[in-house]
Amino acid sequence: MGRRRRQKIRRRPQKRIPDVYQCPDCGNAAIKIELFRDKSLATVKCGSCGLEMTIDDVSSLTEPVDVYGSFIDKFYEGDKTEK
Ligand SMILES: [Zn+2]
């Protein structure tokens, strides 16, 4: 009686992953990224502290995570006013 062990098929959650990232300013995962590929820009907005930034180097291949990377770069760039 060779009962074959059936592999359980894991159902993929159909839930959309919310594009929420951690805010470098307040530390909350409240960053929302909106991509406007047709306008080659993206907006980054923190729902917690209100930090806002527009990223304008968006291409057709840009993913929200890339926007987040640019945002982080810009954030620390602008913050590096070492005196
Ligand atoms: Zn914030």
Q: Closest Cα to residue 55, out of 38, 73, 43?
A: 43
Distances (CA, A) of 56 to 1, 3, 69: 64, 59, 13
Report the alpha-carbon distance of residue 27 to residue 17 in Å, rounded.
20
Topology (CATH level 3) of domain 22-79: N-terminal domain of TfIIb (2.20.25)
Residue type present at position 33: I
pLDDT digits (tens, 9 = 90+) for 12-23: 666 665 668 999
Compute the distance from residue 52 Cα to the ligand 1 centre, in Å.
9
Compute the distance from residue 77 Cα to the ligand 1 centre, in Å.
17
Distances (CA, A) of 32 to 1, 74, 80: 55, 16, 24
pTM: 0.71
pLDDT digits (tens, 9 = 90+) for 15-65: 665 668 999 999 999 999 999 999 999 999 999 999 999 999 899 999 999
Domain ranges of the chain: 22-79
Compute the distance from residue 49 Cα to the ligand 1 centre, in Å.
4
